[in-house]
Structure 1
Amino acid sequence: MRILVVSAMFPPHILGGAEISASNLASWLLKQGHEIGVLTAAPSPDEEKSGEMVDGMKVWARFFPRPYPIHKQGNVKQTYLKPLWHLQDHIDPRNPRILGEVLDAFKPDFCNVHYMTGIGHNALAEIGKRDIPMMYVMHDMGLSCVRMTMFSKGKTCETQCTVCKVSAWSKRKGITAARRIGFASPSRANLELNARHQPLNDYPTAAIPNANKYPPPTIARQPSDVVRFVYAGRLEESKGVDVLLTAAEAARKDWNFTFKVVGKGSAEADLKARYGHHDWIEFTGHVPMQEAIDHIAGSDVLCIPSLWFEVLGGVVVQALQNSVPVIASKIGGIPEFVEHDYNGLLVQPGDVDAWRRALETLLSQPEKLAHLRSNAAARASEYDPDHLGSRFLAFMEKIRDSGPVGKRA
């Protein structure tokens, strides 16, 4: 097939995991003999590309007029520009025109849509107008929430606010314009949440983990009498790192262990100010993926204290593949991968005492930690990129050959 990948962010420009997953799936499909095109957002008009070959793929990097490019999202001080940015992302007529030009130039048989924010949600209908089948990969809650997280004011949103209702209505027009469309997500939980606000159940859906191939660690875990906990991810309020470190402070009064915090984000300065004086806590800041994997593989337990509806953190898969058990919040798609008392522990999100007890459980029961470690890699074959890529391809073929029949995969 001739497949067009639509993703506002795409390597070499990386902000999160969605664009890495989009690139990995595109690369896998390319290796299977499919012709791949990519439409992504250019940071500036000077960086545009028009069908240039990059790593075997035809790349269209187009500049989408906005108050600031998607690449600077989250790092803009002029917050008053955000409403205008989102308005343009929903209604600017240049969005569908640009996508339409690329569709007509590449003439794809199929579209894989990963990241419409930054390209423009009103552009999606252009794919439907041409009756091109598409798989919409939902890496977050972007179809239901402007923030893409359904997290506001320190807690998960129970319902949509007015702005998100209007946004979802606008996005729905692009969905219903397509005769052949299906929705994939790394977790069933994310499909179910978005189905509350979008007509996903009228179309084929599939829960398929991202077909990511992670580099193996370059170090081996060394024996240690001191348990080594690690957090790896963005340092944002929604990630719950302050809950985790507050619990760790309480546990440290009775137990000896170390904590490594890998990553950066808007909460980094505050977390360092509150916890950086402890000699048992290390903040590494942002590190390359290989170094992050080495930090995880060299630790005894990965902690994921998310407060928001986590779809699935790639670090969870990285940890389990390297026999590192996981303590994680019982929220979103995480329980689909972390099984309580089998390959990790599940904890009520935001509950400091519950997190303290979970840490102390593994500190006081080394045999339990050993049991969880032995089980951690048992499901590693399920995350093999060839296996997952084949599942994606089968789902794409199902979408291509069907209409809105409400089938699940």
Structure 2
Amino acid sequence: MKVLVVHNRYRSEQPSGENNVVDQEVALLADAGHEVGVFERRSDDIAAMSLLEKATVPLRVPWNPAVRTELTARLRAERPDVVHIHNTFPLLSPSVLAACADVGVPAVATLHNYTMVCPPGTLYRDGHLCTSCVGTAPVPAVRHGCYRDSRLATVPMAVNLAVNRRRWWSGIARFFCISAAQRDFLVRAGMPVSRMLVKHNFVADPGIGRTGPGEHMLFLGRITAEKGIRLLMAAWERCGLEIPLVIAGTGPMQDEVARWAGSRDDVRYVGLQSKAECRELLARSVAVVAPSTWLEAFGLVVVEAMAAGVPAIAPAHGAFPELVEDGVTGLLHHPNDPASLADCLRRVVDGNDSMGTAARRRYERDFTPSTGLTRLLAGYESAISEGAARALRP
């Protein structure tokens, strides 16, 4: 199969699970013998632009005609069987859909978040779930400055959603949802159920797993409020465990977390870690804690923990209930409840051996690269077949 992957890469200064997923899928397809090309832009490139170019970036978020022209030419030259779209913000834009239509190449898209119904894609505002823009004009997002706490910065994203919502819904042959929870929410929001497939993200076998009970609790991810870091801090102060808590990652709250960790003997903040260091931290964990306060569309760190034979503690909302079988592969706590999270932290110490074994079995069944490849190709073939059927219609 001949595949062209379209992706706007996130800034390299911050870890991006989405970038990692794209890279892993490209490598997976290539290793399986498929011909894979990449059409991409990099948000890092904005820093090197002239002031005039930077000023025009927001204008090109809803539509970038130069990208349409360039991609159309490439599609005509290479004639891929399918185009796989990931992120188009801010330098590509939904004009990539028009390019696919111009050449008659079927397009699929992975929905890594909720940008089809929410300008910043988070369904989260001021520390709470927010659905104000779902099914309506995204005026509330602008009013509240939901992207980067800025009304001005939110305007291009809101315009993009308002202008291109129907274009996405009609121009994509198959949407890959990364969880059933995400699919169900988007279908309720009006997206076409017949085009929505569930394809969980996969994780490569780390080649290293836990061999004992573990040495520490681990939080691994972006240091932000929506990832539940303050909830974890409040819960940790309640639970009184003898093992340490290790926090790895960077983000807007890293200074606050570093100060808190520096004031305690039972917490270590280790900052941004390499992939190898993350694998080592996971393999030495009693459990991984993912206490997100927003509705995660997936939970990559939970599956990474499964691969290492480590249970996870996560909230009973979003995608987590379909990833974590409560009491079997990990524990689910009441969302936004520090007492419930503290109780799970205490409980996992006693039962983490059996849960870790069960977590590894779940990984081997549902989240390996071979399973990911099967589901990916099935989605491609479905989109290609539908495109061929359309072409034959009078």
TM-score higher than 0.5 here? yes
Match of 2:385 in 1: 401
Match of 1:7 in 2: 7
Match of 2:163 in 1: 170
- Residue 232 to residue 108, structure 1, CA distance change in 2 (3 Å): same
In the alignment of these two chains, the number of paired residues is: 366
Tell me which moved more, 167-176 or 324-333.
167-176
Check if 1:215 corresponds to 2:203: no
**How far is the alpha carbon of 1:66 from its aligned partner?**
8.8
Pairwise mapping of residues 258-407 of structure 1 onto structure 2 (< 5 A)?
258-363=244-349, 366=350, 368-381=351-364, 382-402=366-386
Offset from partner CA, 1:72-111 (integer Å, 9 cap, x none): xxxxxxxxx7xx7544211343342333233233322210
Contact 2:119–2:158 at 8 Å: present in 1 too? no
Match of 2:153 in 1: none
* Structure-1 separation of matches of 2:269 and 2:46: 37
Unaligned 5+ runs, structure 1: 48-62, 69-80
Check if 1:121 corresponds to 2:94: yes
Match of 1:195 in 2: 187
**How far is the alpha carbon of 1:132 from its aligned partner?**
1.1
Match of 2:124 in 1: 151
* Structure-2 separation of matches of 1:14 and 1:106: 33
Check if 1:18 corresponds to 2:18: yes
Identity %: 23
**How far is the alpha carbon of 1:165 from its aligned partner?**
6.5
* Structure-1 separation of matches of 2:310 and 2:39: 37
* Structure-2 separation of matches of 1:44 and 1:275: 35
Match of 2:174 in 1: 182
TM-score by length of 2: 0.84
Match of 1:33 in 2: 33
Check if 1:141 corresponds to 2:114: yes
Contact 1:326–1:344 at 8 Å: present in 2 too? yes
**How far is the alpha carbon of 1:290 from its aligned partner?**
1.5
**How far is the alpha carbon of 1:171 from its aligned partner?**
2.6
Match of 2:65 in 1: 93
Residue type of the alignment partner of 1:170: V
SS where residue 159 of structure 1 aligns? coil
Residue type of the alignment partner of 2:345: L
Unaligned 5+ runs, structure 2: 142-156, 390-394
Offset from partner CA, 1:5-50 (integer Å, 9 cap, x none): 0011189897411121112112222223222110111444999xxx
Contact 1:168–1:198 at 8 Å: present in 2 too? no
Residue type of the alignment partner of 1:235: I
SS where residue 76 of structure 2 aligns? helix
**How far is the alpha carbon of 1:336 from its aligned partner?**
0.9
**How far is the alpha carbon of 1:275 from its aligned partner?**
3.5
Contact 1:97–1:123 at 8 Å: present in 2 too? no
* Structure-2 separation of matches of 1:213 and 1:304: 20
Aligned Cα root-mean-square deviation (Å): 2.9
Offset from partner CA, 1:46-85 (integer Å, 9 cap, x none): 99xxxxxxxxxxxxxxx999965xxxxxxxxxxxx7xx75
* Structure-1 separation of matches of 2:39 and 2:13: 13
* Structure-2 separation of matches of 1:19 and 1:66: 28
- Residue 303 to residue 109, structure 1, CA distance change in 2 (3 Å): same
Contact 1:14–1:20 at 8 Å: present in 2 too? no
Match of 1:247 in 2: 235
Contact 1:186–1:312 at 8 Å: present in 2 too? yes
Offset from partner CA, 1:95-131 (integer Å, 9 cap, x none): 4233323323332221011111121123322212322
* Structure-1 separation of matches of 2:286 and 2:187: 37
* Structure-1 separation of matches of 2:128 and 2:205: 31
Contact 1:181–1:404 at 8 Å: present in 2 too? no
Residue type of the alignment partner of 2:385: D
Residue type of the alignment partner of 2:283: A
Residue type of the alignment partner of 2:320: I
SS where residue 38 of structure 1 aligns? strand
**How far is the alpha carbon of 1:223 from its aligned partner?**
4.9
SS where residue 266 of structure 1 aligns? coil
* Structure-1 separation of matches of 2:11 and 2:358: 34
Contact 1:144–1:167 at 8 Å: present in 2 too? no
* Structure-2 separation of matches of 1:45 and 1:340: 44
- Residue 391 to residue 247, structure 1, CA distance change in 2 (3 Å): same
SS where residue 115 of structure 1 aligns? coil
